[in-house]
Chain A
Amino acid sequence: MSDDKLARMANQIAAFFATQPGTASEGIATHINDNWPGAMRAALLAEIAAGGAGLAPAVIAAAPRLRPPAKAAVRD
């Protein structure tokens, strides 16, 4: 997935939570943790680690709350 699309999705989520009472980064992190697969979260975390150009500040602030991808499930 292109970084542009990820950034755009994250920024759209941030724009919603910025309008809500409370800390936006908490809502952003919960929403992304609940809905994004590990690979997409990993890519977003990598983007943030690389400086987060193009990402809303609230997305960057959400980084510590983003769940790193779980290890692939082991099939029995």
Chain B
Amino acid sequence: MKDFVLPGRDMGTPARQGAPVSLTIDGFAVTVPAGTSVMRAAAEAGIRIPKLCATDSLEPIGACRLCAVEIEGQRGTPTSCTMLVAPGMVVRTQTETLARHRRGVMELTISDHPLDCLTCAANGDCELQDMAGAVGLRDVRYTPGANHFAQRTAEAPNPEWRPKDTSNPYFTYDPAKCIVCMRCVRACEEVQGTFALTIDGSGFASRVVAGQDVSFMESDCVSCGACVQSCPTATLQENSVIEIGTPERSIITTCAYCGVGCSFEAQMRGDTLVRMVPWKEGKANRGHSCVKGRFAWGYAQHQDRILKPMIREAITDPWREVSWDEALAFAAARLTAIRTASGPDALGVITSSRCTNEETYLVQKLARAVFGTNNTDTCARVCHSPTGYGLKQTFGTSAGTQDFDSVEHLDCALVIGANPTDGHPVFASRLRKRLRAGASLIVIDPRRIDLLDTPHMGEGLHLPLRPGTNVAVLTALAHVIVTEGLYDEAFIRARCDWDEFADYMDFAARPENGPEAVAALSGVPAESIRQAARSYAGVPNGAIYYGLGVTEHSQGSTTVMAIANLAMMTGNIGRPGVGVNPLRGQNNVQGSCDMGSFPHELPGYRHVSDPAVRGIFEAAWGVRLSPEPGLRIPNMLDAAVAGQFRAIYIQGEDILQSDPDTRHVAAGLAAMDCVIVHDLFLNETAAYAHVFLPGSTFLEKDGTFTNAERRINRVRRVMAPKNGFADWEVTQLLANAMGGGWAYTHPSEVMDEIAATTPGFAGVNYAMLDARGSVQWPCNDAAPDGSPVMHVDGFVRGKGRFIRTEYIATDERSGPRFPLLLTTGRVLSQYNVGAQTRRTENVAWHAEDVLEIHPHDAEVRGVKQGDFVRLASRVGEISLRADVTEKVAPGVVYTTFHHPGTQANVVTTENSDWATNCPEYKVTAVQVSASNGPSDWQTDYAARISAARRIAPAAE
């Protein structure tokens, strides 16, 4: 019977692990792990026991009573969702008694449910409907009486009836259709961990409410969609389904937002996307989602999308729509002329972490093989380049060490400079689940992040450090570990160089690295530092998760090394539940780094100066390659201002808004003679472009994304590109317009070339990804199934390397003129520069960037909640509204950079990480004062950008 069980089917209750238990169900022998429910055991055998309140993403509660079974030797009819299997158990799922019982249950349930099935949004996709059919319900004998679904009776309005809650832009709550199965409440608790929903009242009066019986938008709801997904009826329904109808097919693909890389079913009707539903088999998200991936895909159809190529002689001219041929010929001619006049190093590219591996690979190949330069960089420059450098130096691999499943085994989570509930929400939900189960939490962050307020977890330890003092605090943790003898000597002796550790031990033990000394400069009490060190070093499994609060500093790379040191000295490497886990910002930032986007590394992180590596690509590409490292993004801009760098092809990146010191970026772009922007929208950078090539969305192309756990996930085309070409095709057209002679007919051929040239990808191909769903690199002969956990038997570089991490204060310091420190980040509902999310209903949650300021700092400046304030640094000033909150410490202010009208990066400076030039976004000395409105820069910019976006009317 097992042959008929399809993957993805609802098994009723969650899977368990345990010793095998054999039983008999309806005469079929079944063997399942101990702890499995009878319902799931039956499902394993292909027998579907009727159910309403049970679903395999949630713990069973046995509420609906529909799944009753008979068990030999037991009295009554226990619910199979809560009844666990036992050896030799004999179960019957269908008897005359059970059939009668189930019809009775359904009859009661249906007696308080409207019978408007034909016009219901869930018609054809309703479990209540299915179960009514399954149990053979033929009539409802109860006479009409008190109910929740009729708006009024003949006499009067029905006090139990409530109107639909349409406050959420993406889904509707219709209380009239609720059967109070509690799936939504449990999904909000168990899967998402927000606890926004509850059951109000009891018995007949019980109903699902958000918060303290408020609308969904007024409640704590974060619109993750878990409740909607779990609802068996139309009570919680996607608005897109209400508008369009039920989908008729689905295609598995990968979300194009953050680095968690959730797998989704794109559910389609024709070529119309009806809804995105998180895929249960997805190994990064295990069936969960956030508001962005689940709902915020409307930008793909937004009217702002540019679908025709455009060119202009000068950036002061209006755009002119032209054919693809004309645009490509124009671009190729300019690029070729510049290369002839100024040499190949006057040209460069920026690859996109929002595009696929295959596309990124082709863009860097365009630079290296066609332009003839290593001037290629990517947005990882401004986010995780220190991760690449720091982990390569210490461990030997530029990537995180674990898979996301690892979180289920940790005992202590040390979260540094990351805000997972906003930046990586699906990971945050998985972490919160573990915290509720008893794992401890330490947060090192200037802000009191929401993770610290996780409901039903133990006490979290918060180390609210002054921005810029990461290295000091982490070295102080090491100080406590070495001076108190909390290190794992056996691990260090076996896996690392003991002499290097001894040197690090001497260094860390110095009094200036002690908690008391560091307390003075970081503002973190010494006792908190000691407690954090003991907690992390004292548990069986300590895992570090970190984000851009670690990397975006002048000592970003040193901080990554300090993190690696902590993990090595405590033996927290090489098994599930531990490790060093960088939370990657963008969907394919790991992949874009893997694919050779950096100016000094060919694909697979191999240095351009290595003749053997160049030889591999020279043979594959048929060209000679430059052995010289190319320019990084900030260096490109510097060189442009100096007249040495003249042309750039930017795929899917908006450097004018995302990169620091906007004026400098603008000056660099303005100095170039050929700026080619390849994007969905006329983004901010496009104001300085001469050529605009329309891009395609992730829904419109095939490819792969690599997420933060090194997992290579397939991206699948669900509709034709609205602009005519997938992005990889556009890059190929440009390469061929310059004589590249490329002839790829499908992205799978690009992946085959990657596998043939890059050892960590040797075993990867589309057939394998289609068969297995995904794989984590390295995937080759040594690891044919991929590598969920790295450095298991030894470090990739051989011995793990301890590197001294001395604190060096940043040049950016607060002083009399700029007494506050600004740090920047993102919110849940918006993504990066907001180009996508601002063009969705997500603006309902975050319509503008605001400045978080502590009540004390606000009061001395006369600033009240919602006031317009002026935020000034030594490089620029902007105005935005104030949010007075104790989330930030006194002396620290915080904002986001999602809106071009705000332009937070006008204020950030050119300071950067010593090793990688990753900008120091997280520390800018600023002053805040009262303001009447937008700054001069903001006003001028608004005028300039609208002039730069003019499109000349097409000639008749």
A69 CB, nearest partner CB in chain B, Å: 7
Prevailing SS type, chain B contact patch? loop
Q: CB of A38 within 8 A of chain B?
A: yes
Contact B503 A2 (CB under 8 A): no
Cβ < 8 Å to B, chain A residues 1-50: 1-2, 5, 9, 12-13, 15-16, 19-21, 31, 33-40
A38 CB, nearest partner CB in chain B, Å: 5
Contact B625 A73 (CB under 8 A): yes
B345, B627, B628 interface centre (most CB from chain A within 10 Å): B628
| CA gap between A70 and B599 in the complex, in Å | 15
Interface residue range, chain B: 35 or more
| CA gap between A19 and B472 in the complex, in Å | 14
Contact A13 B915 (CB under 8 A): yes
Q: CB of B343 within 8 A of chain A?
A: yes
How many residues of chain A get a CB closer than 8 Å to chain B's CBs? 27
List B contacts of A35 (CB < 8 A): 600, 629, 915-916
A38 nearest in chain B by CB position: B628
A37 CB, nearest partner CB in chain B, Å: 5
B914 nearest in chain A by CB position: A12
Contact A76 B623 (CB under 8 A): yes
Contact A16 B558 (CB under 8 A): yes
* CB < 8 Å A-B pair total: 77
Contact A37 B343 (CB under 8 A): no
Residue in contact with A37 in the complex, picked from B372, B629, B803, B915, CB distance below 8 Å: B629
| CA gap between A72 and B625 in the complex, in Å | 10
List B contacts of A76 (CB < 8 A): 622-624
Contact A2 B629 (CB under 8 A): no
Contact A15 B623 (CB under 8 A): no
| CA gap between A5 and B503 in the complex, in Å | 33
Contact A72 B624 (CB under 8 A): no
Residue in contact with A13 in the complex, picked from B375, B600, B910, B914, CB distance below 8 Å: B914
B345, B629, B630, B638 interface centre (most CB from chain A within 10 Å): B629
A19 CB, nearest partner CB in chain B, Å: 4
Contact B914 A34 (CB under 8 A): no
Q: CB of B804 within 8 A of chain A?
A: yes
Residue in contact with A73 in the complex, picked from B375, B554, B558, B627, CB distance below 8 Å: B627
Interface string of B611-653 (1 = CB under 8 A from A): 0000000000011111111110001001100101000000000
Q: CB of B900 within 8 A of chain A?
A: no
Contact B804 A21 (CB under 8 A): yes
| CA gap between A69 and B322 in the complex, in Å | 41
Contact A75 B915 (CB under 8 A): no
Contact A69 B628 (CB under 8 A): yes
Beyond A1-B638, A12-B554, A35-B600, whether A72 also contacts B626 by CB under 8 A is yes
Contact A75 B623 (CB under 8 A): yes
25 residue pairs A–B, Cβ–Cβ below 8 Å? A1-B635, A1-B642, A2-B638, A12-B554, A13-B914, A15-B808, A16-B915, A19-B804, A19-B806, A31-B915, A35-B916, A36-B629, A37-B599, A37-B631, A39-B639, A70-B626, A70-B627, A72-B344, A73-B624, A73-B626, A73-B627, A73-B628, A75-B344, A75-B624, A76-B624
Residues of A within 8 A of B (CB): 1-2, 5, 9, 12-13, 15-16, 19-21, 31, 33-40, 69-70, 72-76
Taking A9-B917, A37-B629, A73-B628 as known contacts, 5 extra A-B pairs with beta carbons closer than 8 A to each other, sorted by chain A number, are A1-B642, A15-B808, A40-B631, A40-B635, A72-B345
Instruction: Give the 6 A-B residue pairs with the shortest CB-CB distance, closest first.
Output: A19-B806, A12-B914, A73-B626, A1-B638, A38-B628, A75-B372
